[in-house]
Structure 1
């Protein structure tokens, strides 16, 4: 996952890729990656694209690898950007830091459709997310995260996202309707899987779990597409 020091990057291939070309290279691994996400990583000092005389960003192959590393650390290790920045700084100094250990997963035993999850304490949740205690309390007050002493990987991903939104002035209280919408989506998934989920055989359970993931991803794509569609409409005055 490494990509060498800052010196080796600067002496490598000249920056030649546009932000759109970077998205194309990473689309298979990270289909949700957007130009705004890449610009955000630049604002946070995690990636340093070159600029043309007209001000356009240009990325080298090493920049693409750096972005790939950042996204993988977020997705696979659930790390906040502050911790990722420290890891990258160590790589830039030519060090060989040990990769952070991913959150371990374990099978659920509560009959949930989605069988695999991870267990975290409150302190571990806050440490890994980089979020404040106040933000976690606000998320719990808004019913976005349950009040419990045991948290899971989904809670961690949610809290990381809430911390990013908080920096733009979007707080948990603004997101209460999302809880209602998610309950509606769960109802749709459970209805679609009701026939398979009642069957006791492990093969049927496995199919049910895989299908639930597929349906959840499809619903997320619909929601994301609708938001982007509305944003485009507003940008064009429709």
Structure 2
């Protein structure tokens, strides 16, 4: 649960205005639970109608504690239930009407052999911390720093998705060329937005009851992911004016 600022003892009930906070303060509160969240993500969720902060006469956003908690609910439902924003928006409206409850965090557990996790019925292959470090030829301090910037994160209960190995190898290689993790936060934010776009397009189909529909959605997801990666690479090459082999 988020802990939002409150008035001190003896100050009486806080006025509505005194409880409001800047987008930076809201971001810091959310990052305790969601280290990867960015100001751009908050603005995007606002543009999608998930939160409606008040505006000062000069145009600055001001968030209430309720706004911050609502953002946290949205981020949890994205992270834990893989829900598209349209579904989240409809669900929150139903919650406000008393017609539904905010879903709880799904069970996520290690398998008996310790190399997989189950979340929402999806099995994710895992590796341990030592195995990840060995595969990336990195040390503990490097991994800790990558995690601090949200570039790599373990699943609940421990372990890392096996796809993390490729990320770690690339981070180590870039680090060897002088690119630090703090330089890559924008790239991680862009990747999150690309993933969000793909999920909005096919997320509901991936959770469809029909196995054929789910299989087709997985193929479409792979196709979209591949195209977004190719587009990103092409945009970088164009911006630098170089041609890669």
Q: TM-score w.r.t. structure 2 length?
A: 0.47
Q: Which has the larger helix fraction?
A: 1
Q: Which has the larger strand fraction?
A: 2
